[in-house]
Structure formats: C-alpha cells, structure tokens
A and B are shown apart, each in its own frame.
Chain A
Amino acid sequence: MARRERTAEELAEEVRRTRAHPYGVKPLGNLILSGAVNCRDAGLGNLKQTTDGTVSEIVSYCTGESVALLSATSRSFYAFCHSDEVWKPLTLFALRKDGKFFFSDNWKQTYLNTRLGEQAPKHNLIVLDNFYSDTLHHIHRDSSIPIPAKWTRTNNVERRHASSMSKEEFQELYEKPGKPVIIQGLVENWGAFKKWEWDYLLSKWGDVEYQCEAARLTMKEFKQYCDQQCDDRPLYLFDQSFCSTSEGLSADFEVPEYFNDDLFSVLGDKRPDFRWLIAGPARSGSSFHKDPNSTDAWNACIRGVKKWIFFPPSVVPPGVMCSEDGADVTSPMSLVEWFSNYYHRCDEVDVPPLEALVQPGEMMYIPNGWWHLCLNLTSTICITQNYVSNVGLKRVLSFLKSMPHCVSGVPCERRESLYTDFREALSSNLPELLQQVDEEEKKDAKPHNEPLPQGDEGGFSFDF
C-alpha cells in the first residue's frame, strides 16, 4: 500500500522534527541515493529471499531468550530483533507470569526489567550504519513524525449545549435518526473535570490495577510508561471495572439525563460490560469499529484533545477489511499508519465522513452502528458508557436474537442466552415496555394487505 506522496516541504519538515531511529535503521530510498550496500541479505542467510514482514513474523513466534540469541547472529537479525513490536508483546506476556512492570527507555529494557528485576542488564543500543528497510523504518516514523495539521482540520460534527436541549429534543434529533453530536455544558460540571490532574489521580488510585490491553498495570506504572514511551501504537488503559476497584472515582462523574434510560441495568451484574475509564498518551486510541451489541454510547473528554472520524453504518471506511462474519481481524495497523495511508482516501468515499476535534469538557454521542475511530492528539483521560434506551430497545433485542455469535461483553457461555436473559429481566421489571416493543415488532412483520401505491417496491422490511 503506497503512502500518499508528500511535498518537498512536508518531507523537509518531517526530517527536521523526527528523531533518528535508535538503531540507525534507514529507509530503502536512502540506499539508492547513497550507493552503500545493505547488510540485510548477508545477515539473513537462507531466509534472505523472504520479505521483511515474514522475517518479523518468524521473530514474533520466538521467546525472549530466542530473540536475544537470534539478535546476536548478524546485524540484520539485530535490526529485526530490536523493534518495539517484538519486545512489547513479550513484556506483556512476561507480566502475566509475575513480573514487575517498570518502563524505562524502550520495550527491550522494559522486558529485561520485568523478567530479571534488579538483575536486569543495561541494554546497550548498537547503531547500525548499513541496514536499510522500509518496513522497519515505517514503524519508527509512525512513532515520531509530528502529527500533521491537515489530519485535525475538519470539525463538522454538530455541537449543542445542554442548557438548550431537552432529552426529548436529543432523542428526536439525534438518537432516533442516529446522528453524532457533541454536547457541551455537561462534563465541565463534573468533579472529574475540576479535579482530575495526574497528581490527584495518582495520590488516590496510584496503586490500583487497571486493564491496559493485554496487561494489568497500576496507575503509577501506566503513567510512568506514558511519560517515557515513544511507541507508534502506545498502550491504552481501557478498564471496565473502575467503579468497583477505585473507591470514590464514581462520585466524580454522573450519567447525563439524556442517557439515563439504561435498560441493560435490569440484568444487574449479569449485564454486559458497559462503562470504561480510558487513558492514553498521544498516538493511542481506537481504530475503526462499531460499538458492541448495537448499543449507543457517550464519551466524555475530561482531559486532552481527541480526533474523531465517523462513517455511517453502511459505509465501510477506507482500509478496513471487513470479513464476512466480522470475526477475523489481522494484526491491526497503528492509527498513525492508518492516517498516513488511508486518511486521504476518505475523499474518494461516496459519503464523506464526519470529523471532530473534541476538547476537554465536551461529550461525544456515538449512535449505534456507526463506524468510528478516535486518535488521541495529546495525553487524554475519558469516561465512556454504552447504553440502550427505550428508543433502541427493539433494535437491540433484534440484534441479540439474530446475531448471538456477535454478542460481546459477557462470558462466552452466556452470549447465546443474553437475548432470553434480557427479555426475562425486562418482563420482570418493565413488562409494559417489553409488551410495547413486541407489539411493534409484530406490526413490522405483517405483510401488506392493501394494494400498494404506484412505484412502490412492495413486500415488507425489518427494522434492525
């Protein structure tokens, strides 16, 4: 996939502001200009004809010891074995077996810290002067290029102020038709908005563990990582248990009235995961996805600036590979990589995306079914919740019934039964609502009995 061509000025600016590759890896373009010899092939031996991607794939199956010893065979393998892509998953894996996380300098050093604690040797970087690879260099470039202004220019999601919008109006204009909107005047009144600086958070919850992708880290450990890292795809704190693990935290925010019909609450603690504390450094975020179980969501930006991109449900975003059953996802690219390769192709899509730059104190409403991506431009802290209200109940029940294999947020064994469990809980707690929804469903399913007006396609349709 060729990157969009940059202008001479853009390239010069990029070079000026980008830090050098820590191991001296250079892109292939430099090789052509310099006439030097690439040490890649000689150092790969019988594997020299395979692609860089394949060599990296081989390394990804190796244990920490194997990678370390492999890196000693040649300069070429040294380069392949010292990518953050290699040592980050190995570190997260080592953490599961009782390591102590302490991020310092880079992921290899951090791995050594985790495995060996006090005995960890100092990782001495060897700078190679004759290794050229686009694949390895791109990862580095993604981690260090300044984020171009053009990625953040478009800001066309509607903004409304809570003081001038009733719940009914919100439901009529945004929730029923499914339209993203940014709501101001809510988050800025929260305790979180006033108090949540890192000093405060660390003093209260610094030793509490949070889910950070595949690892569990304390807030202190995570913050220390954030300050030191220069990843192309930084670790993201994304924790669904924070209200029970972090005493007092839930008092610092409140669910706005617009979203307080939270029907999954009838399931009590059998409900699917529904709220997350999210924090991450610049370049972290979420790549394109649709929210689980056909729910709607809100995302409150407490600290930092977030770049959002939205595509309507029927438009697959550029660069997104949608497998037939939605199950298979190959190793996802970093957000920076997506922006570098695919952002400009948004112009070619039939329906241009909605985009927004969300500031602290603002809340994004994410309608169900919409593709969305979020890139943190600075260090950010947010709270997000998914919900289903009266407006969406029929649709969600329909989803749970017809796509049990796509249900998420509950243990595997309960996915197939979430539909019936939810119905049961609704009929105990909100029988009239359930009855109403069932009646509507029946009406939708009735075939037409009267003759149709001219030009109509006929037949009946389901509303998912």
Chain B
Amino acid sequence: KLQFLYFIALNMPFTIESGNYGTVDFSKSVVLQSNDQKPIEFVVEREAAKMSGLIKDMLEDQEGDDQTVIPIPNVNGRTLKYVLEYCEYHWNNKADPIDKPLRGKIEEVISSWDRQFLLTDLIKGGDEKQHELLIDVIMAANFLNIKDLLDLTCASVASMIKGKTPEQIRALFNIENDFTPEEEEKIREENRWCEES
C-alpha cells in the first residue's frame, strides 16, 4: 500500500509483479504489458489508457469488471512507462494544440509539465543529440494512436531542426548525404533566401 501511495505521489505509472493482480481494481484500471522478453506490467487508470485510440477501441466492447490485461506489441517497458506517464497526467488535463508552423522553439509553447516531460529523459538532460527515447515515444504514440503525444513529440523534432543548417541537421540525426554534387549545388543556390532571413 505504501508503494502504491509512493507511485501516485510521483505521478509515475504503477508497475506490478508479473501476474500479481491482487491489488488491481479492474473496475477502474487496466493492466498493460510491454513487449520485453520478460514483459513489464503497468496498472493504468482506464480513462488514461483510453487516450490511446487503439486501446479505446479494444475496450469499447468490454464490461467494467473484466480482468483487462492487454499486451502491447512494439513497445518496450522503458518507452511504455513514459507514454503512460503522459496519459496519466493529460487524460483529464488536455494539452493546448501546438500551432503549425512552430512559433519559436518547442519549450516556449508548451506547458511546464510538458517541458519537463520532454527535456528530462526523452531529450536526455536537454541535450538534443540524446533523442533516442524521443523517437521511441514517437513510434509508440503513433502505434497506440495517442494524438496529443504524437503532436508534442513531432513538434519537438521540428524544433530541433529549426535554425540549423543542412550540415548540422545531418550531424544531429545521422543522415546520409546522397545527393550528387550538382544536385546539392542546385538546392543550395535555391536556398540562398534562407540565409538572408
């Protein structure tokens, strides 16, 4: 019970010993399993889980008290933890839509909670080069169909691209330059106006 309170206080998704559903109130929560060799099981409030369009559809035909345990292919425990953290915070606290195109940098247009969510671990320590988890969350949000999370993470990548030269963008994302020299010159010529703005 103490562990339960500890996790609630830190707003982190609550994991349980595999298969030990004794403490789970299935009228309010569901259990989601990551796709690791040894799956990690998360207890999530039903309403939070329904931020995922995929899960929402699955739960549509369900009766309230069924012991709902859903295996999530494609998403490992590390990523699922952050996805669910987002859902547990935002399911009844919807984020404002992010304008397109992005005005300024992402940090300037999102809430402080989202800022911390993004810049602690997804972009590790706020260092753009350390974006591995961000990309994992993008893929999970896409697979699970969580629009607001996908918007946030995609806008973050756009923010990282903003203000950089092609060389800097390539370095950041390990992009292979496969243009011929002629093609590259053509584009550079056409892009001169970008340097002037």
Cα distance A124–B188 in the bound complex, in angstroms? 11
Instruction: List CB contacts (< 8 Å) of A120-150 with chain B.
Output: 121-124, 126
Q: How far, in Å, is A360 (CB) from chain B's closest CB?
A: 38
Cβ distance B109 to chain A, nearest Cβ, rounded Å: 10
Q: List 25 A-B contacts (CB under 8 A).
A: A42-B176, A45-B175, A46-B131, A46-B174, A50-B135, A50-B139, A58-B154, A60-B154, A61-B159, A62-B162, A63-B101, A68-B191, A69-B164, A69-B194, A70-B161, A72-B188, A73-B175, A74-B177, A74-B178, A75-B183, A78-B179, A78-B187, A90-B101, A124-B190, A330-B147
A contact face: mostly helix, strand, loop, or mixed? helix
Q: Which residues of A contact B190 (CB under 8 A)?
A: 68, 121-124
Alpha-carbon distance between A157 and B159 when the two chains are bound, in angstroms: 51
Q: Output the nearest chain B residue to A42 by Cβ-Cβ distance.
A: B176
* Contact across chains for A71 and B170 when beta carbons are under 8 A apart: no
CB < 8 Å neighbour of A73 from B98, B142, B170: B170
Q: Mark B130-156, 1 if CB is under 8 A from A, else 0.
A: 011001001100100001001100110
In Å, the complex CA distance between A59 and B151 comes to 12
How many Å from the CB of B170 to the closest CB on chain A? 5
Q: Please tell me the number of chain A residues within 8 Å of chain B, measured between CB atoms.
A: 46
Q: Which B-chain residue is minimally distant from A330 (CB atoms)?
A: B147
- A61-B97 Cα distance, complex, nearest whole Å: 12
Q: Decide yes or no: A47 and B178 within 8 Å by CB, A53-B142, A62-B101, A119-B193 being known contacts.
A: no
Whole-angstrom distance from the CB of A1 to the nearest CB of chain B?
14
Asked if B169 and A69 make an inter-chain contact with CB atoms under 8 angstroms apart, the answer reads yes
* CB contact between B135 and one of A47, A115, A116, A122 (< 8 Å): that residue: A47
Interface residue? B6 (CB, 8 A):
no
Contact in complex: B158, A77 (CB < 8 Å): no
Q: Is B36 an interface residue (CB 8 A)?
A: no
Q: Of A42, A44, A70, which contacts B166 at CB under 8 A?
A: A70
Q: Which of A42, A46, A62, A71 contacts B158 (CB 8 A)?
A: A62
Asked, given contacts A50-B135, A72-B191, whether A62 binds B161 with beta carbons under 8 Å apart, the answer is yes
Question: With a CB–CB cut-off of 8 A, which chain B residues contact A74?
Answer: 170, 175-179
The smallest beta-carbon distance between B159 and chain A, in angstroms, is 8
- CB-CB under 8 A from A203, the residues of chain B are none
Known contacts: A46-B131, A54-B150, A61-B100. The answer to whether A116 contacts B193 by CB under 8 A is yes
* Cα-based distance from A44 to B150 in the complex (angstroms): 18
A39 within 8 A of B: yes
Q: Is there an interface contact between B169 and A44, defined as CB atoms closer than 8 Å?
A: no
- Taking Cβ atoms with an 8 Å cutoff, the residues of B that contact A are 98, 100-102, 131-132, 135, 138-139, 142, 147, 150-151, 154-155, 157-159, 161-166, 169-170, 173-179, 183-184, 186-194, 197
Closest to B151 in A: A57
Inter-chain contacts of A70 with B (CB < 8 A)? 161, 166, 169
Closest CB of chain B to A48's CB: distance in Å? 9
When the two chains form their complex, are residues A126 and B173 in contact, meaning their CB atoms are under 8 A apart?
Answer: no
Q: Which of B178, B186, B191, B192 has the most CB of A within 10 A?
A: B178
Q: Across the interface, do B162 and A72 meet the contact criterion of CB distance under 8 Å?
A: no
Give Cα distance in the complex from A50 to B143, angstroms. Answer: 10
Find out whether the CB atom of B138 lies under 8 angstroms from the CB atom of A54.
yes
A126-B183 CB under 8 A given contacts A51-B142, A54-B142, A74-B177: yes
Closest to B103 in A: A63
Report the separation of the CA atoms of residues A51 and B143 in the bound assembly, to the nearest whole angstrom.
10
Chain A residues near B165: list those with CB within 8 A.
Answer: 69
- Contact assessment for A42 and B178 in the assembled complex, using a CB-CB cutoff below 8 Å: yes
Q: Which of A12-46 contact B (CB under 8 A)?
A: 39, 42-46
Give A320 to B163 CA distance when docked, in angstroms. Answer: 39
Q: Is the CB of A72 within 8 A of B139?
A: no
Residue of A nearest to B145 (CB): A330
Contact of A126 among B169, B186, B197 (CB under 8 A): B186
The smallest beta-carbon distance between A218 and chain B, in angstroms, is 25
